[in-house]
């Protein structure tokens, strides 16, 4: 069972974990041991509340397929257990990040003082550059 929040949790049957061979440089065990984890989570089939499902499906993340399945591949650790923990942690973080409400941006104007300072520095720069020109007689 994966706890997302105090009231939301995912059952074990909702998350499909499969072991695959990790990509990358070779070694003594590279062709024998399947240490990487491939996690699949079907959003539509899950028991998540509808607000979670809507926000997950609306997000434009590359980890979500067209069918509404979250696919996470964890292969950064050498053991299968640690990669499994990593995949579950990343799934939990992803679901939690969707529920964070972004602060709305309000357009602001620069202050009069900052506008005057900017224009004064531009005028000063203009004078410096003009003083470098060749003098015309």
pLDDT digits (tens, 9 = 90+) for 27-52: 666 667 788 899 999 988 888 888 88
Q: Identify whether the C-beta of residue 71 lies closer than 8 Å to the C-beta of residue 39.
A: yes
- CA dihedral over 7, 8, 9, 11, signed as positive or negative: positive
Q: Within 10 Å of residue 30's Cβ, how many Cβ atoms?
A: 13
Residue 126 makes CB contacts below 8 A (sequence gap 6+) with: none
For each of the domains in the chain, give its residue range(s) and CATH number, in order of start.
2-98 (3.30.160.20)
pLDDT at 26 over 70: no
pTM: 0.69
The distance between the two most distant Cα atoms of the chain, rounded to a whole number of Å, is: 88
pLDDT of residue 8: 85
pLDDT of residue 3: 84
């Amino acid at each position: 069972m994966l706890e997302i929040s105090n009231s939301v949790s995912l059952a074990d049957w909702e998350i499909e974990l499969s072991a695959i061979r990790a990509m990358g440089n070779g070694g003594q065990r590279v062709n024998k041991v399947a240490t990487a984890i491939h996690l699949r989570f079907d959003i539509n089939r899950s028991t998540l509340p509808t607000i979670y499902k809507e926000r997950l499906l609306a997000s434009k993340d590359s980890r979500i397929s067209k069918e509404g399945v979250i696919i996470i591949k964890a292969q950064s650790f050498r053991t299968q257990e640690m990669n499994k923990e990593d995949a579950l942690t990343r799934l939990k973080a992803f679901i939690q990040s969707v529920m964070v409400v972004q602060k709305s941006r309000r357009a602001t104007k620069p202050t009069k003082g900052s506008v005057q300072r900017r224009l004064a520095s531009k005028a000063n720069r203009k004078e410096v550059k003009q003083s470098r020109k060749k003098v015309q007689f």
